[in-house]
Amino acid sequence: MNFEAIRDQLEIYKAEGKKMFTTSSFQSHSIVLLHIISRVDKTIPVIFINTGYHFPETVEFKDRVAAEFGLKTVDLRSNTPKFMQRGPDGRLLFTSDPDHCCYLNKTQPVDALLMQNDIWINGVRADQSAVRKSMKVEQKAPHGAIRFHPMLDWNAKMIYEYQKEYNLPKHPLENSGYLSIGCEPCTRKVDPEMMEREARWYGMNKTECGLHTDLVSK
Ligand code: SF4
């Protein structure tokens, strides 16, 4: 969808009285959707799923982007304290059960948020993974909410061109070789022979955190 189509759809949701929010991981490529939203409606809440495991650079970047674009960011945290997020060996869950760690810190808090909202504006792109390729622009989510995927047909070139046109800020770790940046324990630098998202949960049979697999309804 181009800017005009995204703007029109957001205005339709607004006219229908729908309650909206967006989530952002505040990676460089995610900033395009935030910029588009800031051009349409700065009051739409931008949820940062704060797992407590982010790079400090990501948290600083989030605050900088929010201030620059005039957006309202809200940190969303798990209700399960970290001392209860340990495996049988006493170590934090990301070392032994990353699926459950992602569930407690990402999926469960967003699931609760869906109960209070109608529209989840989500920046997934079809070219990012097989799971995302099978998604639709509008898709049902739990609790009667709708996932709206305005960036689904955008590709890396379109993202690059928009970033260039608006001189968008870049995540500070990008220059150090990080391309797909999530929680610090589950992110590594990209080697030349790696696909971008292989830098997440490296060496594990895991490519998604659950937000785009568990929070989709049939
Ligand atoms: S990405 Fe890693 S640290 Fe972050 S919630 Fe998932 S398993 Fe835990």
Question: Is residue 178, in this structure, part of any structural domain at all?
Answer: yes
pTM value is 0.92
**Is 113 marked as a binding-site residue?**
no
The count of domains in the chain is 1
Q: What residues make up the domain containing 44?
A: 3-199
Question: Is residue 102, in this structure, part of any structural domain at all?
Answer: yes
Q: What is the CATH number of the domain that holds 46?
A: 3.40.50.620
Q: Which residues lie closer than 8 Å to 2 by C-beta, 6 or more apart?
A: none
Which ligand 1 atom minimizes the distance to the CA of 106?
A: 5
Minimal CA–CA distance to 37: which of 2, 83, 6?
6
Whether ligand 1 lies within 6 angstroms of the CB of 55 is answered as no
Q: What is the pLDDT of residues 124-135, one digit of tens each?
A: 999 988 889 999
Q: What is the pLDDT of residues 90-123, one digit of tens each?
A: 999 999 899 999 999 999 999 999 999 999 999 9
The CA-atom distances, in angstroms, between 110 and each of 54, 119, 125, 138 are 17, 12, 19, 18
Q: What is the pLDDT of residues 43-56, one digit of tens each?
A: 999 999 999 999 99
Question: Is residue 132, in this structure, part of any structural domain at all?
Answer: yes
Residue located nearest, by CA, to atom 6 of ligand 1 = 102
Reduced to 3 states (helix: H, G, I; strand: E, B; else coil), residue 38 is helix
Question: Is residue 173, in this structure, part of any structural domain at all?
Answer: yes
Tell me the mean pLDDT in the region 161-187: 93
Residue located nearest, by CA, to atom 4 of ligand 1 = 183
